[in-house]
Structure 1
Amino acid sequence: MKKLTALAAITALGLPVPTARADGAPPAFTDGHGLTVVAQPRWVDHNERTFVLTVRTGQVPAYSVLPGQVSGEHSVVVTLPEDYAVSGATRYPVHYHLHGHPDRPDTAANQRLFEEPTVGVPLITVAPNGSGRGWYSNWVAPPAGLRPQNWENFHLDQLIPFIDANLRTIPTRDGRAVSGHSMGGFGAFHYAEHRPELFGYVGSFSGGLDLLSQEQRAAVVATTQLPGSGTPTVPVDAIFGPPVWPLDGVWNAQSPAQHVGALRGTGVAMYTGDGGDLLVDPVRAVTENRARATNLVARDHLLAAGIPHTFVDYGDGSGWAEGCTGKHAQLPCLLADMEHFVSLLMGTLTHP
């Protein structure tokens, strides 16, 4: 195992050691780094591994909401190692996972995704709100009622140091990873390419990685217009600007598949199916099939750049996991993706 003593981390970075609460409650959080805590952590169930807290930020003071969300209030879901409360000053690596569209971090399915593959694993998982259509980016032209929409600033400049200040993390690149599903897979590559000094490993689970693809552009534009992606809807150019040449410079610049050179020295993993039988559950089947096409583009660029990576193309899912048929956002597939990815992390990241 790779080890980093708590003393070394604290000495190098001058961080205090947050202590566990004696009453069995989840850790208490303190405002900081631009985030205001509006609801302290609460356990989601009696197992006391996963808690939810709520914060506000001036980087995204309002957003398009899904049912049950309050605009401007951001849920952050944290899953702790089972022994966190009794492990003294032990510090743990952190895995940030970005949800897809239109999803939210605080669902029962996501709790399974964070808890089941990390049983017995010394790893903290953090899942922030990314909105149904946030696309993990600083928007180019957010509408007046939602300005600003700086999701990247919120997550990278505020949330990461906020987590490091409030939990016993290993607050270095070698103790930090990012992954995501679908829209979140785009976000994970986008974040790791923009800030390679933050993450030692990046993973995409059926991510939409190629913004030069007209199909992918159509998918992004669709999220701006669908009420099911959040209310209110937003203009088609709100996130990345106009999606057509010669006004599409931001789309081109922000496309992860073509900018993998920034990942040199970072662990890289991609997972995708092919949709399986396209006549069964055709929407999710076709969505996965086309996401796979964007992963192939990213893989080709990684190969051309000579960047080592793991690419798991599990086709119809029959050889990947029981119940996985290669569809998009299919929980058995995602659980298998996460279990494999966590094994890669624990072979690479610094951990107890």
Structure 2
Amino acid sequence: MESFPRKELVSVIQSGMTGSRSAFALAVGRFATKLKHTDLPLAQEIAQFLSAENVMRGAGDFVPAPVDADSRMELVETIFPVVVPKRPVFNGTVQDVLDDVLKEWRSLDVLIQEGLAPARMLLFCGQPGVGKTLAAYWLAQELKLPLLTLNLATVMSSFLGKTGNNVRAVFDHAMSRPCVLLLDEFDAIAKRRDDDTDVGELKRLVNVLLQALDDWPANALLIAATNHGELLDPAVWRRFDHVIQFEPPSAELIETYLADLPMEEKVRKNLAALLHGESFSGIGQLVNSARKTALLEKADLVPTLVKNAVRLRMSKGNMAKPQEGEMLLMYLAGHSRREIATSMGKTHPTVGSVIKRYLGE
């Protein structure tokens, strides 16, 4: 016969006296799970208190943000509710992991009652503009939680010891109620401690950070994002439930991203192929710029967008067939197809084919 779960009961009492709401709930869940073997009715009675509503209580409460002692500037920016106007587009691997995280959080009751926690800490790696920050916003929106973003410029202090104090203050603030905490440019505060060029203060900062990560509760989600994963201290990697690598979008993903724009399918496909190599952030800026230009100049959106895309790719030397770009720019500047053919030394049908592929009928 199973013995009474004394160890788990002690953990419950300890968490209740010293821990967070979520730590207490996890301890109670582990106790109830063990208790099922000796007293099932009592275990079921205890488990009924372990609801997501109880664990996540206080998510929308307003709590003043901590400030830097010297500048008096806030150390975090808070957004609630979080609204992402357009569903983000991620590759299959990234989307699968994000969906799994959401599934765990939406099943919080089931996990907590068994003494288990959902994924609490995610590390996003990848080049700038590939969707790391957008993914954090989207998760906060889907979980209906406040998004807290660390203000790195304010947190990093020139005074010895102050940066560590600021980081600790941010974590204490974030752990005070359910939220999503985004640590952008994570490598700035989690840099390898074996870098001899760094002063001791930065190494002490990593120690403070590691302790804060170990204390992170189960009813809040921490997301760290970095463009330079190779700079992170090895001990940091082990703290995360998932490490997600964000890649530049493929032509197929760009085509999906452009799906809500009014254009022929073949035009969208060719435009996506033209923009392959650009980040989602860059493409989004390109689309917004084209929309504003088309609105103010009372012009059609698709030709304006194609013109901007061609100019961008040619300025970077990344257009596979520069002559096609020159043809398109001449046509969009008002030159006839015959004029373009004569200038470029091409046949009239060749020029017409290029224009049709990028601009449609």
TM-score (structure 1 length as normaliser): 0.32
TM-score (structure 2 length as normaliser): 0.32
* Higher fraction of helix: 2
